[in-house]
């Protein structure tokens, strides 16, 4: 079989370049997403999915596997199987480092994937998510010839503030000042999931006001309000109403009003709802990555996911939606906020109280 000539642009692309421009011949037989940042990996994953499958239903043409449990036969069978109602089949292996681990017969799997790439299926696309990528291996050299490595790490910290300003403007219609963007980078580093979550919370925190400046970042991030929100979520999940009310007191004492408190809680519970939705088809850790949960919050999200049933979580989010509307008309109503805390801590009681009125209405 004639060997394809290596392409000069095949080596390594930054995610930003990969997003902007297609490489010649895409979709390619193999992509490697190199990095550990969940937010950037998710962005890379979405681009690969879009280029491989187009508008086809992922449920018909996408196989996502965790590296530790992925079976070589399943991977190769899926790549070689003709797609149904889709132009191609995409096989995506998260944590492919574990797939190729020596403890997991990694050398045999690497040889088998390399052999497959000698004659890859014209309708199969393989995507490997790797924390480490050793460029001296035969597999790496073959990827250079027919595939693409995408760098999903922030290698230019000075580009984080401009990126934050762009996100604030495009996603929330907010102006983020240069000083505020630098402060966010200094506090949260290059954890893009945490940075995105912080922007979401800041946009709710300032309401209709603009711009977002250093006092807002200081109040919400530097003073630990985001940590206190998770502590309040923990108290609610454990049905500890007295503890939750104490945390509410702390917010109130520092001058926050009802729309700000409800907005922060709603952001947190919305993230929990997303995690629960994604967890139906993947591991909890993968679902948290997909939902953009900062790594520092993984343990808290695990506790909350275990404590809330699907029904109670839906009830809690609905309570926050209703409280958000009420808070905008009566922003200083402390009693309404206390009632919200009791409702969040006792979702079953709140649901049973609402049932008679619903029955009467019917």
d(CA 69, CA 14): 29
Segment 265-291, tens digit of pLDDT: 877 788 788 888 888 767 888 888 777
d(CA 92, CA 259): 41
Percent of the chain with pLDDT strictly greater than 70 = 86
The whole-number average pLDDT for the span 216-245 is 78
* Greater pLDDT, 176 or 219: 176
pLDDT category at 357 given cuts 50, 70, 90 is very low
Total length of the chain: 362
Dmax over CA atoms of the chain, in Å, equals 77
* Model confidence, pTM: 0.58
pLDDT category at 296 given cuts 50, 70, 90 is low
d(CA 232, CA 241): 10
The whole-number average pLDDT for the span 224-242 is 79
Domains of the chain in start order, with CATH, are 12-151 (3.40.50.300), 158-351 (1.20.272.10)
Q: Which two tokens stand for residue 303?
A: 């506790």
Helix ranges (H only) for the chain are: 15-20, 38-53, 58-61, 72-80, 96-99, 106-118, 138-146, 160-172, 178-188, 192-206, 214-217, 225-237, 241-253, 258-278, 284-290, 298-307, 310-329, 334-345, 347-361
Edge-first strand order for the sheet with 30-34 is: 12-14, 148-151, 30-34, 124-130, 89-94, 62-66
Segment 119-165, tens digit of pLDDT: 999 999 999 999 888 888 999 999 999 999 998 876 566 788 888 99
Q: Which of 97-106, 220-229, 251-260 has the lowest mean pLDDT?
A: 220-229
d(CA 314, CA 308): 9
pLDDT category at 88 given cuts 50, 70, 90 is very high
In the prediction, which pLDDT does 8 show?
Answer: 44
Three-state DSSP class for residue 300: helix
Say if CB 183 and CB 176 are below 8 A apart. no
d(CA 174, CA 212): 7
């Amino acid at each position: 079989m004639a060997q394809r000539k290596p392409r000069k642009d095949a080596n390594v692309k930054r995610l930003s370049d990969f997003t902007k421009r297609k490489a010649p011949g895409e979709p390619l037989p193999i992509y490697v997403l190199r990095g550990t940042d969940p937010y950037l990996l998710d962005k890379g994953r979405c681009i690969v999915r879009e280029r491989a499958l187009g508008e086809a239903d992922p449920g018909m043409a996408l196989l996502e596997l965790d590296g530790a449990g992925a079976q070589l036969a399943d991977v190769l069978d899926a790549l070689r199987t003709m797609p149904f109602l889709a132009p191609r089949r995409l096989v995506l292996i998260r944590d492919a480092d574990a797939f190729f681990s020596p403890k997991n017969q990694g050398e045999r799997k690497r040889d088998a994937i390399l052999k497959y790439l000698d004659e890859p299926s014209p309708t199969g696309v393989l995507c490997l998510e790797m924390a480490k990528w050793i460029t001296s291996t035969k597999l790496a050299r073959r990827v250079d010839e027919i595939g693409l490595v995408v760098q999903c790490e922030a290698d230019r910290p000075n580009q984080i503030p401009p990126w934050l300003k762009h996100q604030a403007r495009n996603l929330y219609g907010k102006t983020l000042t240069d000083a505020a963007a630098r402060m966010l980078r200094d506090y949260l580093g290059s954890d893009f999931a945490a940075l995105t979550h912080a922007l979401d919370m800041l946009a709710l925190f300032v309401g209709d006001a603009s711009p977002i400046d250093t006092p807002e970042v200081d109040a919400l991030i530097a003073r630990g309000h985001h940590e206190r929100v998770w502590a309040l979520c923990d108290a609610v999940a454990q049905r500890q109403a007295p503890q939750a009310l104490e945390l509410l007191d702390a917010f109130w004492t520092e001058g926050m009003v009802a729309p700000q408190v409800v907005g922060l809680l709603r952001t947190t519970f919305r993230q929990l709802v997303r995690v629960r939705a994604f967890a139906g088809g993947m591991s909890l850790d993968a679902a948290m990555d997909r939902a953009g949960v900062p790594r520092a919050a993984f343990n808290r999200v695990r506790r909350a996911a275990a404590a809330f049933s699907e029904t109670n979580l839906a009830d809690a989010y609905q309570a926050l939606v209703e409280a958000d509307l009420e808070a905008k008309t009566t922003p200083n109503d402390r009693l309404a906020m206390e009632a919200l805390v009791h409702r969040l801590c006792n979702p079953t009681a709140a649901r049973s109280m609402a049932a008679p009125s619903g029955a009467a209405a019917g």
